[in-house]
Structure 1
């Protein structure tokens, strides 16, 4: 048994409360269980309890055993001086405050039904992937859909944290934030961090000034990546290199190679050379990109905005000096879907949150228009009968697996608590 099960029992009063007594046989009446804040200090704050004939207001601490009070050294911590009741599964020691007054103890094991214990043991039985994998299909649609909305919001909140940090780092320039986030996601998992470093190393005001010539944007991106630090014979390479050094001089930027790029194990269409050229063309084709993407609400509008390909040189190259069969190399719908999921929805959420505007429902609608992600976690949920029809569902399931299932937070999960009730 874990303490979080006792937290669940106390928070939702999932035990017989009609004839509660302390270990000293004083009657207990729970008026208010207190606030479960999950912060440092006692587990429940501002509870109201009648013990004997005395009404108390204060905090409640919960442990598996009474002696855990001393194991955790609460007797030395002033934060626990206002504990009015010690709730435990097993009472094995008397507990005293600093002034030697005894803290009343409620031993829960006498008041919890066998059904509740059986449900808990069933839920927390050894898992092969997640604890409730055999019971997932028992959850009613209403509970699951409401929980997915909460999970989706939690995932957006988590994604918004690094975006907010980037906003502060980039002098609160939202256009620069978008430029960096798009760069990161154009780089995918392998080159994402390198692309981000490339983007943050180029002051965005230079992109604003130079976006009339796509070759200048390419020169800056390829130069910062280190791809121009070698000698090549073809004219396109020589032109990019000339432009890069000219721009360094023009804007008094220090020459530096930000991060090495990975080609290994990539499909050719995902080579960093191709993604950098596509990224450059996006900023060449779409001026005022930030304002466009902050007001868009439909996926089809985003597909139109991000309808970009590569420069003519890259139509028959994947690397410098190595020709290949001609191909337009346009951004695919599946790639744009990833950009919507990982860039556009999170930055819209963060931007409007800073404006104190609520766009959560709009973002749910947008994510419902985007195809579901395809990865090992989503495939595993599918094998248990939990199918995903859109990105809203897959994002919620990823949050569920990573933040609840992997961390054993079953009793903080709507699915886990629903299974315990049943």
Structure 2
């Protein structure tokens, strides 16, 4: 048994509340269980309880055993001086305040029905992947749909933290934030952090000024990726290298001396050379990309905006000095979907929130129109009967697995609560 189960029992009064008595045989009447605090200090704040003939207002602390009070050193913490009731599953020792008055104890195991306990044990039975995997196929669809929306916006809130950090670093420049976030996503998992560092190392004011010449943008990005440090025969390479060192001198930028981008294990179309050229062309075509995305009203318009390819050189190359069969390398629809999920939707959410605007329905509609992501987590949920039909649902399921299932927050999860209630 875990302590959060006792929190659940107390919060929702899932026990016999009519015949409660303390361990010293005083009658207990619960007027208000208090506010559940998921932070340091007592578990429930500002509860109201009648013990014997005395009405008390204060905090409630919950433990598996009353001796846990001393295990957690609450006797040394002044935050626990206002505890009016100690709720435990098993009472094994008396607990005293600093003034030597005894804290009343409620031993819950005497008041919980066997069916409630059996349902909890069933929910928390040994898992191979998640605790409720054997019950997911019987889950009420209404419960799942409502919970998915909450999960989706929890995930957006989490992603927004990185956006707000970037805003502080860029002096509240949303265009600069978008550039940094897009750069990271253009780098995918392998080169994402490196691309992000490259974007942050170039003041966005320079990107704005040089965006009218795509070769200058490519020179900056390739140079900062340390891809221009060697000597090559191609005129294109020589031109980029000349431009790069001219721009370093012009803007007093520091050169990169060590290569960091990875080609290994990438499909050729995801090589950093191709992605950096595409990123340069995106900002050559759209100098005010954030402004355009902020006013966009359909997913088709997003796909149109990201109709971007590379310089002509990269149609016949994947690396410098190595010719390959000609291929126009445009951003694929699936790649733009990744940008939508990981950059465009989060930054629209954060921007609307900063303005006090409500666009939740629009964001959900956007991702409902995007094909579902494919990964091991989504496939596993599917094998247990939870099928994802779009990216709104896959994003919700990823949040569920990472922030609830993996950390065993079953009793803070709407699915866990429903299964516990209906098992």
Task: Provide the TM-score with structure 2 as the length reference.
Answer: 0.98
Counterpart of 2:210 in structure 1 is: 210
The answer as to whether partners of 1:148 and 1:393 remain within 8 angstroms in 2 is yes
Do residues 354 (structure 1) and 354 (structure 2) align? yes
- Give the whole-Å Cα distance in 2 for the aligned partners of 1:139 and 1:249: 63
- Give the whole-Å Cα distance in 2 for the aligned partners of 1:118 and 1:28: 26
Counterpart of 1:236 in structure 2 is: 236
Distance 1:264 1:171, change over 3 A: same
Counterpart of 2:82 in structure 1 is: 82
- Give the whole-Å Cα distance in 2 for the aligned partners of 1:160 and 1:121: 37
Counterpart of 1:376 in structure 2 is: 376
Residue by residue, what CA displacement relative to the aligned partner does 1:368-400 show, whole Å, maximum 9, x if unpaired? 111111000001001111111111100000000
Residue by residue, what CA displacement relative to the aligned partner does 1:251-302 show, whole Å, maximum 9, x if unpaired? 1222224760000010000000000011111001112111011122321110
The answer as to whether partners of 2:60 and 2:87 remain within 8 angstroms in 1 is yes
The answer as to whether partners of 1:33 and 1:47 remain within 8 angstroms in 2 is yes
Task: Quote how far apart the aligned CAs of 1:74 are.
Answer: 0.7
The answer as to whether partners of 1:198 and 1:259 remain within 8 angstroms in 2 is no
Task: Quote how far apart the aligned CAs of 1:53 are.
Answer: 1.2
Counterpart of 1:164 in structure 2 is: 164
Pairs within 5 Å for 1:148-297: 148-257=148-257, 260-297=260-297
Which ranges of structure 1 fall in alignment gaps of 5 or more residues?
Answer: none
Which ranges of structure 2 fall in alignment gaps of 5 or more residues?
Answer: none
Secondary structure of 1:21's aligned partner: coil
Secondary structure of 1:20's aligned partner: coil
Counterpart of 1:331 in structure 2 is: 331
- Give the whole-Å Cα distance in 1 for the aligned partners of 2:115 and 2:297: 48
Counterpart of 1:418 in structure 2 is: 418
Counterpart of 1:367 in structure 2 is: 367
Task: Pick which of 23-32 and 257-266 moved more.
Answer: 257-266
Counterpart of 1:299 in structure 2 is: 299
Secondary structure of 2:112's aligned partner: coil
- Give the whole-Å Cα distance in 1 for the aligned partners of 2:20 and 2:301: 62
Task: Pick which of 224-233 and 344-353 moved more.
Answer: 344-353
Residue by residue, what CA displacement relative to the aligned partner does 1:58-104 show, whole Å, maximum 9, x if unpaired? 00000000111111111111100000000000011111100011111
The answer as to whether partners of 1:123 and 1:419 remain within 8 angstroms in 2 is yes
- Give the whole-Å Cα distance in 2 for the aligned partners of 1:162 and 1:28: 48
- Give the whole-Å Cα distance in 2 for the aligned partners of 1:129 and 1:323: 47
- Give the whole-Å Cα distance in 1 for the aligned partners of 2:258 and 2:152: 34
Counterpart of 1:390 in structure 2 is: 390
Secondary structure of 1:58's aligned partner: strand
Alpha-carbon RMSD: 0.9
Task: Quote how far apart the aligned CAs of 1:24 are.
Answer: 1.1
- Give the whole-Å Cα distance in 1 for the aligned partners of 2:391 and 2:206: 35
Q: Which runs of 4+ in 1 moved over 2 A?
A: 256-259
The answer as to whether partners of 1:197 and 1:258 remain within 8 angstroms in 2 is no
Secondary structure of 1:64's aligned partner: strand
- Give the whole-Å Cα distance in 2 for the aligned partners of 1:242 and 1:157: 43
- Give the whole-Å Cα distance in 2 for the aligned partners of 1:356 and 1:229: 47
Residue by residue, what CA displacement relative to the aligned partner does 1:295-345 show, whole Å, maximum 9, x if unpaired? 223211100000101110000100000000111011000000000000001
Task: Quote how far apart the aligned CAs of 1:356 are.
Answer: 2.0
